[in-house]
Structure 1
Amino acid sequence: MARHVEDVIQQSLRSNHRNLFEYNAQAGPMAIPYRLVVWDQFPAGLDESSWQSLCSILASGGRCGVGVVLRLSQSTVWPSFADPNKLSEFGLHLEFSASQDVAYLRGDEFPGIPVRLADSPQSDRVKEIMECHLQDITEVGKVVVPFESIDVGAMDLQRASSAESLSIPIGISSAGRIQSLKLGVGTSQHVLIAGKTGSGKSSLLHTMITSAVRKYSPEALRLVLLDFKKGVEFQVYSESQLPHADVIGIESKREFGVSTLEYLDRIMHARGELFREMGVQDLASLARKAPSLKMPRILVVIDEFQELFVEDDKLSQQATMLMDRIVRQGRSFGMHLVLASQTLGGAYSLPRTTLAQMAVRIALQCDSSDAMLILSEDNTAAERLRHSGQAIYNESGGRIESNQGFQVAFQNKEQQMERLHSIPRSAIPHHPAINPLGRQVVFEGHRPAVWNQKIVDAALVQHRGKDSGVLAIVLGESVSIDPPVVKTIAKGAGRNCLVVGSEETIAASILACSAYGFLRGERTHDGQARRIILLNGAKPEDEALSRVIQSMSGSAHCEIASTRDLDRVMQQVHSELVRRLENPAEAYAPLLFCVANLARFRELRKSDDYAFGESSENAKPDAIFSELLRDGPSVGIHVWVWADGVGTVSRWISRQSLRDFEIRILTQMSSNDSNQLIDSNAANRLEPYVALLQDDVDGKPIKFRPFSVATLPATFED
């Protein structure tokens, strides 16, 4: 209560109001309730610390709306540190008669004036009053500041200039004025936010973003939004197609976060080159020298930023370096970083030297350790915040004299969506100093990637170069900000692909994408057409795989065979292999031989009773299969296999044949299985909807997100 009195004086009354009554008359939703401290049998239980706090409350509490009622015990001995005379300095002294029905005011001003007390209410009435009080008191601490109280008017929508700075309304201060987040002036360049679960941190971020895009146009402000926690907080900005947003990361992966920081670093470099050409030092100078050149500020919001540093690895080191560079150099280029987290403690985080550069601090409800980290060791005001959305704004690196209490403005999701949809649409700019990609990047880590044919085709063309005959297969969306992951496959031993994982939907997606990339190349080669021969091992319940195979069957370049056709198909492929091996100098169109669900083809299971070199008519399917793996890639016959687990791989494929699969794609599996396939446990750490590509040629593991089968094209024909 003594700290509450201090907070009211420092944050609310200040020198503007004589007492709480005057403050509440103007505070509106920020009004502070009166409090009453009652101590029965005083001074029982009193210690020296409590006595000091009580004296402080008695001295200043009346001004701050805090009253004290002490019922003195006649039998308790007063401790030596407490002076009974101190009490009479700050209040009335009532002395009851023996009958307890009359009390007398004692003191210099009231020499024994009798006071007759009202009758006590009946017990039922007391119970009724207390039940009503307990029911209503739960609502007392809930302070709601409507977003309308800080929103720009219709006439001012997106009319503010960001040339000199940003000023984003986020709530109402304890003094009853609009509290704005100010960036771009002095040391106020970057923001650090901390608040535990339920503190209103997400509400603050939504209020800040919504307020910013309603005040500033896309020409004045660009947004980069990354959310690393489990949830879809930023999905609302993707759904509303927010024109300000260049990057939106929902349940972002660490790789995507680091690549986004690299993207921002490229923008800073481009702005540096532009500023040198124009002879200016910062964004404000550029705006004054060339007002027609629209160069927006960039607000980078990263929620749960510490997820970037959960592992002490190369990604963490890159993130530390890039974020430190943005913090130190971003001010000149109009780039402002907002880092938010539930806690700032823990072993992995940004260096203290970097955090110290972030002068603006916003503290919501925190425990004591985080309260000291977000503000300072001698500033624990955040520990005393009591309700959701109550916060402290500090623009001096946490110094206690700069504390400004405020309440975050609130809007529900429906209201937010309505406001976002009311914003005028505009095209995404394409400029190396604004958005070098020329498009909005949306990463949704909580679900499979969405197929975008325009982007996929561009990636395939880029990897093929000028030679449309190059075999290139697209696998999925990159977990970074890069284009889709594409693997080019040239003739040569070992250039086969093995997909291992129990997720049938992922296998179906990779099969479809492989077929798409294969058939999107040059269809004919010296009069020969590219072909895909697929062994269909889909089970009745494999809906995704069946759907993909059905789509492939519509192509004249795809031959689909069932388990019953195995012998015939293997003989057919073997004859083609022999023909090519006998005439290696001839040019042949690529042939992709696919086995969908290896475990359904028992005849392909390895055995020791065959010998290479048998005639096509006598060779067994398993022998042909091994021969295809060994000799096929060198003559343009590449094998694509999906196996549902490492157990199937070990039973069907010999160790020698396994070496003929240089390209391996894994979904989540145990550490032992991962080590068996790629000599690394990397596949054990894969998240849902993520797969791992490893090519023995370069040994570099690449994570990617397979496309949702539901979004894939219905046909593979041009």
Structure 2
Amino acid sequence: MTLKPGDLLAAVQKDVRQARATIRARRSDLDETIAEAEAAVERAREEAAATSGPELVLEHWRRHAAEAAPGVASTPWDDWVVEPEPSDDEPSLYRVGSVEGGVPALVPLLDAGHLRVIGKDMATADAVVDSLLVRIVATARPGSVRISLYDPRRLGAGLGGFHALSRPGLLTVYGVEELKDLLGSLDRDIRRIQRDVLGGGHSSIAALAASTGRRPEPWQVVIVQSPVRGFRDDEVAHLESVMHAGAACGIHVICRDAPLADAPGIETVEIGEDGTVRTSMTGELRVTVEPPPANLVRDVCERAARWVGIERDPPRFAELVPHRFWGETSAPGVRAPIGEDVDRYEPVEVLLGDDPVHALVGGPPGSGKTNFLYALIGSLSARYSPSELEFYLLDFKEGVSFARLASGRTDKTWLPHARLIGVNINNDREFGLALLRFLGRELERRGAAAREHEVTKLEELRAVDPDGHWPRIVAVIDEFQVLIQQQDRITDESLYLLNDLARRGRSQGIHLVLASQNVGGVQALWGRGAILDQFTLRVALPKARRILADDNPAAQQVARFCAVVNSESGARQANRVARLPDAGAAGTFDVLQRELWQRRPEHLAPPQIFDGAHVPELTSVPSPPPGEGIVGQLIDLAGSAATVRFDRNPGRNLAVIGTRADEAYDVLSSAVMSLARGHAPGSAEFVLFEGEPNPQVARLARWLADEGHRVDLAAELPEPGDRQVPVYLALFAVDAATARSAPLRTAVRRLAEHGPDGQMHVLGWWRTVDRLRADVVERTGPVRTIDAWVALDVRDSELTSLPGGQLQHWSPRRRRALFYDQRAGNTPQPIIPFKVLSDTTSSTPEGM
């Protein structure tokens, strides 16, 4: 059916008339309802006035004040204790004075809005602000309220009693020309909180705290005093925009004498010309302002400063230790408290499991990094038995931080959970690489077991293989940046292994804790974001750099004895500030270690120890098989011996190269003495040759004779030939003699080339590679007749003519050598020469 235009218009007009009639009817009903409600309220008021009396009305308001402003939020000054405890229930109103009858005059602020103080009576305005602030500081948890002051007229003197809060950073005073900086900082905080903290999920910080039970951001109270010239229009506009969005973000402004427009959420305190004070909440009732006593302000602020951590004693280490040792399982992960939350006074725990998996710890010297590691290791050790948790501990700095966890001269106890302790390894990056290789092999072993049992992670593996030994492994590497700070093979392989362990350690229960004084300087690590992405647990000590996110300045603000613990890769909203105990003082960790050591399983062996400052003894190494000489100790987890096998194959000779005479004599003597220990008396012969006189050679000859071996101190070298028993020719400083005698040089060359086939082996010391080549190479070319060598203070570029000399990167250092044996087929390896000959008057080699 088609309507004509006139018909359509008539229909619309009819609908409009009907709608108007309906609205009038509903409005009439609403007016009637409102009138009835107002009449009922009026009757109730009349009844209350007739039956209650003024005293009961006042009592009703007092009860309301006690509920909305509990404790010291509304208590008169005379009733305060010296150091009031924060209220368990956060107040919504705060007392600034009283009205007739002693009823508290209350104003809102935190999580409510802002305060505007109008009037020229500066003393009364100060009293209002001081009263409000002291009650806020007293009722809020210390550290949960930060105050900013812009007071260009008096340069901060208006809050003189509150300046104790400046020490822990709870009060910041802005200068005359810094209003723009203050408002800009508030702008950035508002945007950050809206984006990163609220994220569209909650309307305000207060709503978020009510939902989660945890407040992620402190309140900010901003006091703005008008300058003498007054506020400019742009400054007022900027201030109003901050106030509009700030309350939801926990930012509240107390503004004095600013021409602000009336707006919801702004409470006004108006001071009249005659000194009368009225507030928005009290209406026409006159308010008597009650300034706080100066000593009370001082006591409250001093207490808050102490409790934030500047002067308060840290928690005791004993508080981290459970009443029952080793009562928890590490199957789902390990967790332990390391300190106390500075805001909520509850334990702050560190978790290592499926998430977070690994931890990054940072802090400059003196910030408490080692103390934190002690707290972490001790707290975990007390909760998990050695069958549940194992530690591998390395310290690259020059010190003995972890040495206390091993058996010492006076304290024979050791931490039962420690399987490896490495100290003073700042010059032994190879040992750090050895640990990463071990962890890589353990990762593969666990992965193979998981595949065999058709599971994917350690918790499942432990469930299907309860009789297996599958503890969680926590590897703590202090000053780890030393391991990867050079551009060489060690750094390349270490980064590869770190990346592999960081990615796959989650599933197999292997966790890394990397600590550093300055992570920001580790360019190799920051260039590989995939590694850092796995270290979601971040612990930043005071003034730490590059540990937290770039927009998270908490480490620059945290007080001493504290640490920022963040399990979300350093994001600001995940900060928890923990006050740390003194875990290294006498009577703390040492007492715990002694108790745990006494509980250790009988079969448990002490940890492997590697001390970079310790020179190992040859007697600590088992005697090798016959024909095998020991030249030093490998830098590996087991402390294995570096050995050379002497048989009839060509090239089975040994060269020691370098100018450090004491170490050269030690290496040659170690090889000779270990060969002697492997052979029965009479089953080998030893020829000692001196290119330069040295009493150590004579002492070695006496020791060989005392052991029952045939020894010859020769002035000339024998001719090569087939011998019934092996003959070992130890040539000390041989290049000094061959430089004077061409026939002797020829004899050395012939022995090196033909001797091994007849069981005659050259073990010689040359000062340089060129002198070695001159003695054993007839023409130009590489050295082919000596395929095992030990280089002391020889640079890698000088070793290219030796077998394997093209395969290494070597930086010479004291009491370290580079060892290569072509028979083993490996790349050259650093070793620690044994110290076996003494400079004392003893007639026998040291340690033998």
The alignment-based identity, stated in percent, is 21
CA 496–56 in structure 1, closer or farther in 2 if over 3 Å, else same: closer
Further displaced range: 187-196 or 218-227? 187-196
Question: Which residue in 2 is equivalent to 1:566?
Answer: none
Question: Which residue in 2 is equivalent to 1:349?
Answer: 525
1:257 to 427, 432, 440: 432
Residue 685 of structure 2 is aligned to residue 521 of structure 1: no
Question: Which residue in 1 is equivalent to 2:726?
Answer: 590
Q: Name the CA distance, whole Å, in 2 between partners of 1:520 and 1:26.
A: 78
CA 338–80 in structure 1, closer or farther in 2 if over 3 Å, else same: same
Q: Name the CA distance, whole Å, in 2 between partners of 1:333 and 1:21.
A: 53
Question: Which residue in 2 is equivalent to 1:82?
Answer: 235
Give the Å deviation of 1:343: 1.0
CA 320–653 in structure 1, closer or farther in 2 if over 3 Å, else same: closer
Q: TM-score, normalised by structure 2?
A: 0.62
Q: Deviations over 1:599-645 (max 9, x none)?
A: 7x64x43444x4xxxxxxxxxx5554444334333312212222455
Q: Deviations over 1:248-291 (max 9, x none)?
A: 22244333223322222332333334344555443333444555
Question: Which residue in 2 is equivalent to 1:559?
Answer: 711
Residues 641-656 of structure 1 mapped to structure 2, 5 A cutoff = 641-644=764-767
Give the Å deviation of 1:695: 4.0
Give the Å deviation of 1:241: 3.0
Q: Name the CA distance, whole Å, in 1 between partners of 2:505 and 2:699.
A: 49
Residues 222-621 of structure 1 mapped to structure 2, 5 A cutoff = 222-239=390-407, 240-252=413-425, 253-289=428-464, 291=466, 293=468, 295-341=470-516, 342-349=518-525, 351-366=528-543, 370=546, 374-377=547-550, 379-415=551-587, 416-424=589-597, 426=600, 440-451=607-618, 453=620, 455-457=621-623, 460-461=624-625, 468=626, 471-481=627-637, 483-523=640-680, 529-535=683-689, 551-552=703-704, 554-557=706-709, 559=711, 561=713, 569-571=714-716, 573-574=717-718, 577=719, 581=721, 584=722, 588-598=724-734, 602=737, 604-608=738-742, 610=743, 621=744
Give the Å deviation of 1:180: 1.2
Give the Å deviation of 1:360: 1.8
Q: Name the CA distance, whole Å, in 2 between partners of 1:89 and 1:625.
A: 92
CA 295–664 in structure 1, closer or farther in 2 if over 3 Å, else same: closer
Q: Name the CA distance, whole Å, in 2 between partners of 1:80 and 1:34.
A: 27
CA 14–271 in structure 1, closer or farther in 2 if over 3 Å, else same: farther
Q: Is the 8 A contact 1:265 1:326 kept in 2?
A: yes
Q: Name the CA distance, whole Å, in 1 between partners of 2:459 and 2:826.
A: 47
Give the Å deviation of 1:710: 8.2
Which amino acid in structure 2 is aligned with residue 355 of structure 1? L
Question: Which residue in 2 is equivalent to 1:48?
Answer: 180
Unaligned runs of 5+ in 2: 1-85, 92-109, 111-132, 156-174, 190-205, 207-217, 244-251, 259-267, 277-287, 289-297, 408-412
Residues 625-640 of structure 1 mapped to structure 2, 5 A cutoff = 625-640=748-763
1:151 to 288, 305, 320: 320
Q: Is the 8 A contact 2:224 2:254 kept in 1?
A: no
- SS of equivalent residue, structure 1 residue 520: helix
- SS of equivalent residue, structure 2 residue 632: strand
Q: Name the CA distance, whole Å, in 2 between partners of 1:699 and 1:292.
A: 37
CA 54–427 in structure 1, closer or farther in 2 if over 3 Å, else same: closer
Residue 694 of structure 2 is aligned to residue 694 of structure 1: no
Q: Is the 8 A contact 2:766 2:772 kept in 1?
A: yes
CA 272–660 in structure 1, closer or farther in 2 if over 3 Å, else same: closer
Q: Is the 8 A contact 1:475 1:514 kept in 2?
A: yes
Give the Å deviation of 1:477: 1.6
2:383 to 215, 234, 245: 215
Q: Deviations over 1:578-611 (max 9, x none)?
A: 6xx3xx4xx5211111133447x64x43444x4x
Give the Å deviation of 1:714: 6.8
Give the Å deviation of 1:702: 2.0
Q: Name the CA distance, whole Å, in 2 between partners of 1:636 and 1:363.
A: 63
- SS of equivalent residue, structure 2 residue 672: helix
Q: Name the CA distance, whole Å, in 2 between partners of 1:111 and 1:56.
A: 39
Q: Deviations over 1:478-500 (max 9, x none)?
A: 12335221111222444322212
Give the Å deviation of 1:716: 11
Which amino acid in structure 1 is aligned with residue 271 of structure 2? E
Q: Name the CA distance, whole Å, in 2 between partners of 1:187 and 1:210.
A: 21
Q: CA RMSD in A?
A: 4.8
- SS of equivalent residue, structure 1 residue 529: coil
Which amino acid in structure 2 is aligned with residue 201 of structure 1? K
CA 397–695 in structure 1, closer or farther in 2 if over 3 Å, else same: same
Number of matched residues? 615
Question: Which residue in 1 is equivalent to 2:271?
Answer: 109
Q: Name the CA distance, whole Å, in 2 between partners of 1:710 and 1:241.
A: 32
CA 295–514 in structure 1, closer or farther in 2 if over 3 Å, else same: same
- SS of equivalent residue, structure 2 residue 271: coil
Question: Which residue in 2 is equivalent to 1:196?
Answer: 364
- Whichever of the two has the greater Rg, that structure is 2
Q: Deviations over 1:399-434 (max 9, x none)?
A: 33222121232223534334323322546979xxxx
Q: Name the CA distance, whole Å, in 1 between partners of 2:529 and 2:613.
A: 32
Give the Å deviation of 1:201: 1.9
Q: Is the 8 A contact 2:150 2:179 kept in 1?
A: no
CA 291–232 in structure 1, closer or farther in 2 if over 3 Å, else same: same
- SS of equivalent residue, structure 2 residue 406: helix
Q: Is the 8 A contact 2:699 2:844 kept in 1?
A: no
- SS of equivalent residue, structure 1 residue 424: helix
- SS of equivalent residue, structure 2 residue 523: coil
Question: Which residue in 1 is equivalent to 2:130?
Answer: none
Give the Å deviation of 1:179: 1.0
Residue 316 of structure 2 is aligned to residue 164 of structure 1: no
Q: Name the CA distance, whole Å, in 2 between partners of 1:140 and 1:17.
A: 22
Give the Å deviation of 1:203: 1.8
Q: Name the CA distance, whole Å, in 2 between partners of 1:14 and 1:266.
A: 55
Q: Name the CA distance, whole Å, in 2 between partners of 1:16 and 1:549.
A: 86
Q: Deviations over 1:212-253 (max 9, x none)?
A: 222222111111112233333222223453221122222443
Which amino acid in structure 1 is aligned with residue 416 of structure 2? P
Q: Name the CA distance, whole Å, in 1 between partners of 2:725 and 2:776.
A: 27
Q: Name the CA distance, whole Å, in 2 between partners of 1:22 and 1:507.
A: 76
Q: TM-score, normalised by structure 1?
A: 0.72
Q: Is the 8 A contact 2:789 2:820 kept in 1?
A: yes
Q: Name the CA distance, whole Å, in 1 between partners of 2:792 and 2:87.
A: 61
Unaligned runs of 5+ in 1: 1-12, 95-105, 116-128, 431-437, 462-467, 562-568, 611-620
- SS of equivalent residue, structure 1 residue 192: strand
- SS of equivalent residue, structure 1 residue 693: strand
Q: Is the 8 A contact 2:525 2:532 kept in 1?
A: no
